[in-house]
Structure 1
């Protein structure tokens, strides 16, 4: 994307305002690379194109690399990168399925959206390191077909073909989401910024981004007789009031939040795919309790404590009970609000139910086999069950974008904290609720990108409660 300098240069040459990005999508797989056509000057491009890769199955390559790029002749750039693991979108078991995905949005993260001429965090846009800002989203779908035509494999290439547009409402419903946070305390502020006005910003996707969020398109793609769609920027109060840090000893700085605590909120509309997050949360909670229990068992084993046997039995019994509850909840929630309708949604929930139910049954059977002489062997078997559960946690299809908390000093972003949206999602069922939802937590803000690496990055920039 273009910096403000580039934008002014372009405007001087062309004499008109245009969207300052020429996007296209590049996909790499099994040594082959294909790309869509370039959409000139568009913040909201629509391609309706498919890239067809011809490759032997099963492929040796296990990852698909998807990049959104800017074909700007002055400053070509990568906007965002996402990797899709074939193991997460397919299954080679008896009731398995070929790689499939979507239609679903992929959320892209990377460097901050200020688009300076020299972007010191540009490596984040290539998928290296933790993205510090929301960059864009792509609506994609993946389908695999097996063919008997051997001649197709003689010359491996990538074909670009037009395809029918996707009706977004057919696979998900859009709904409103409300994100709320109260800052109870802001302390341990970095000395370097304590002579500036400081405030905090809460954002989810572009919603709430007060500095460099939504880019209004200069072109109107609607018919002349239609009313233009307006962006309601009053739908949220995503920032705290700016104020200068204070100190009593010139070493420890904090913001004067006394009796009145600042609140931030964001209201935004997103595809309602809560069930993906609910499913991940339920499996994650089973996994976390099992991992803690096995860690405690291991300590008892190392100390040759005779209660290790009882502890392992208790852990396995709890896992069996939790797995049974998971199956009961998910079988009663196969339809309704927030349920994904893609093929992968349906195949994944069936896979999770089978695997979790199987692990629950095996854990109950293993519990009966735990003896003093077989403790170490049974412990290793339980660790294998834990690894299987961990693999099921993350859904390859995204739901809500991640949440960012930024500290801004004199209009510049200086430190941040990133939260997974599923850790904050609310549900009436406790097992589905995010671990941080409605709870007071302490977060430590850090520098973005490479600045957070090495000894300089270990310094806490701010502590929020």
Structure 2
């Protein structure tokens, strides 16, 4: 249960807030016999009081969270001094855990190791602020005892991984088909068939793993004791449906209906027919992917969310919630959450937005800050897995329970190539206003020139951001720093109104010449959930190896 304030009150629209207020254990069974569907009477049966120890096994869990970047801080929300903290709601446990774990838990609470502490907010022109970590990246920590519901998360995570891989292949084939980025349509068919082969192999792996909780397994008694009837029926249904989808895939691969359809067409035949075959296969794979996605059950895993907080002084002013299933660790990689041990960028939402004071929370699209972090959650006895999940080259330093991640320093340059945009819903051009693009990357903010507002503004400009960053080549390759692109309308009064924004991962390319700039692509702009336009651009990230001579080689770039 969540509230929108620390007092536990709900919001005006009834939406969940970030403040964990507790948990309610409910058991509900509904039976409607086919011959009594019209019956409206209700009977209630009394039950004996429940004992949590008989319902589930309690386990010791740790959360580790290195903070790599805190930028785009709205100083009206964050103030001049702010910090970042993580919390997770508690579920009361009757029995104690491991003695070493209890010591660690008390140290984390006493020394507030879940919080960076208050830091100075540094200004970056022309807008926003950021935090600097000159002595290494802080690692926030949590320790908590929770019921061991990992078996629910693991199954869904495996299915989600299969779905994500298929969706990635579908979107890649659709893009290549649209932009004619292929030699023959058979190239696209081969890519889809490879995606299906991989999905079939992962389904077999899923079925092999879940067999351990089947009737022939020695863990059957444990599963029966600590899982609900709903868990067992969901597992049975997942296995049955996954087997059906596997049979569909293998039957399709053996018959190769679409593949043979395309390959039997002679080279002299109309190319539209072959494209049509690819579209038919795309529709078939998309239908399979939808069926797989329906097997990711939306029921609660039983754990509270992890909340990343932005604090102004000591007061919580902004947040984002992250489901724990997405960061849970497993020794079997396919069972781990999609964001476990992965560097990701999150945006914190203000608790009280200064711009939308009288607007419902669902109508606020503002960002109070951008945080680049890594999250890892696992059993206390498996905590060595956290260090192994760090990108190569980063070194973990531990001293008396405090943790920090050290790194080498590199000079990086982010080049943002902005050509033009298409803006929706341009109704009245009588009031002269201007539009510009703002690029946020690596704790820095830069803007294009302003252009008179039209539905198709053209900038044809390159923005260059250079920063000395603590990072490694391995981390750059695995997770380049994300850039946030915003398009604003500048009114005569000097007020800036957001038109739309989106985030983009730069293309890594160390070739200095602008001839090797990434190909321009159209990206969609959003203001909240509203699609407000498109922008034609690309972003490149490169390492400046000879920084002292760089401006001597490209003196004309200083003016850009």
Normalised by the size of structure 1, how large is the TM-score?
0.63
Q: How does 1:248-287 map to 2 (within 5 A)?
A: 249=125, 251-287=127-163
| Superimposed CA distance per residue, residues 375-432 of structure 1 (whole angstroms, 9 cap, x where no aligned partner) | 4333222222111111111351423221100111133321111111011101100000
Deviation at 1:249, TM superposition (A): 4.8
Query: C-alpha distance in 2, partners of 1:337/1:408?
Result: 46
Contact 2:78 2:310 (8 Å CA) reproduced: no
Deviation at 1:264, TM superposition (A): 1.7
The equivalent residue for 1:433 is 336
Question: What's the counterpart of residue 199 of structure 1?
Answer: 83
1:146–1:452 CA distance, 2 compared to 1 (3 A): closer
What secondary structure does 2:114 align onto? coil
Alpha-carbon distance change, 112 to 392 in structure 1, aligned in 2, over 3 angstroms: farther
**Cα distance change on mapping 1:273 and 1:241 into 2, 3 Å:** same
- Aligned mates of 1:429, 1:439 — CA distance in 2: 16
Local SS of the residue matching 1:289: helix
Change in Cα spacing, 1:255 to 1:148, as seen in structure 2 (3 Å) is closer
Alpha-carbon distance change, 144 to 196 in structure 1, aligned in 2, over 3 angstroms = same
1:122 is the counterpart of 2:6: no
Q: CA deviation at 1:157?
A: 4.9
The 1-side partners of 2:27 and 2:78 are apart by 48
5 Å-filtered alignment, 1:308-347, equals 308-334=188-214, 335=219, 339=223, 340-347=226-233
Between 379-388 and 298-307, report the one with greater CA deviation: 298-307
> 1:135 aligns to what?
21
Do the aligned residues in 1 keep the contact of 2:306 with 2:321 (CA within 8 Å)? yes
Equivalent residues, number: 326
For residues 197 and 299 of structure 1, what CA distance do their matches in structure 2 show?
Answer: 45
Give how far 1:167 is off: 3.2
- Shift in alpha-carbon separation, 1:366–1:139, aligned structure 2, 3 A: same
Is 1:111 aligned with 2:4? yes
Q: How far apart, in 2, do the equivalents of 1:390 and 1:338 lie?
A: 28
- Extract unaligned runs of 5+ from structure 1: 1-107, 208-213, 215-231
Does the alignment pair 1:184 with 2:60? Answer: no
Contact 1:272/1:338, CA 8 A, preserved across alignment = no
Please give the TM-score of this superposition, normalised by the length of structure 2.
0.53
1:447 equivalent in alignment to 2:350:
yes
Q: 1:348-387, CA deviations, whole angstroms, 9 ceiling, x for partnerless residues?
A: 1111111112212211222322232644333222222111
Q: 1:331 to 1:149 in 2, by over 3 A?
A: closer
Task: Measure the CA separation in 2 of the matches of 1:424 and 1:132.
Answer: 18
CA 1:259–1:404 in structure 2 vs 1: closer, same or farther (change >3 Å)?
Answer: same
Partners of 1:406 and 1:234 in 2: CA distance: 21
Cα deviation, 1:289-344, whole Å, max 9, x if unaligned, reads 01111122223444565122222212221211111111111112453899552111
Q: Is the 8 A contact 1:276 1:395 kept in 2?
A: no
Q: What are the residue-to-residue correspondences of 1:148-159 with 2, within 5 Å?
A: 156-158=40-42
Structure 2 counterpart of 1:366: 252
Going from structure 1 to structure 2, the CA distance change for 1:249 and 1:313 (only over 3 Å counts) comes to: closer
Using the alignment, how far apart are the partners of 1:149 and 1:312 within structure 2? 47
Q: Evaluate the alpha carbon distance shift between residue 246 and residue 379 of structure 1 in structure 2; reply closer, same or farther with a 3 A threshold.
A: closer
| The structure with more strand, counted as a fraction of residues | 2
- Deviations along 1:192-250, one digit per CA (max 9) or x if unpaired, are 1454431222111148xxxxxx9xxxxxxxxxxxxxxxxx8655432221122123657
- Structure-2 residue corresponding to 1:298: 174
Could you say if the C-alpha distance between residues 395 and 148 of structure 1 is closer, same or farther in structure 2, counting changes exceeding 3 Å?
A: closer
Aligned-CA RMSD value: 3.1
Deviations 1:129-179 (A, max 9, x none): x532323211111212345886x956x355555422223333311111111
2:297 pairs with 1:403: no
Number of the residue aligned with 2:369: 461
The residue aligned with 1:175 is 59
1:200/1:302 Cα in 2 relative to 1: closer, same or farther (>3 Å)?
closer
Matched, 1:166 2:50: yes
Query: Who is 1:59 aligned against?
Result: none
Unaligned runs of 5+ in 2: 93-104, 263-273, 353-358, 374-560
**What does the per-residue CA deviation read over 1:245-304, in whole Å, with 9 as the maximum and x for residues that have no partner?**
123657442223211332321111111010111111100000000111112222344456
Partners of 1:416 and 1:445 within 8 A in 2: yes
1:215-254 correspondence runs (5 A):
234=107, 236=109, 237-247=113-123, 249=125, 251-254=127-130
Deviation at 1:461? 2.7
In the TM superposition, 1:411-426 aligns within 5 A as: 411-426=314-329
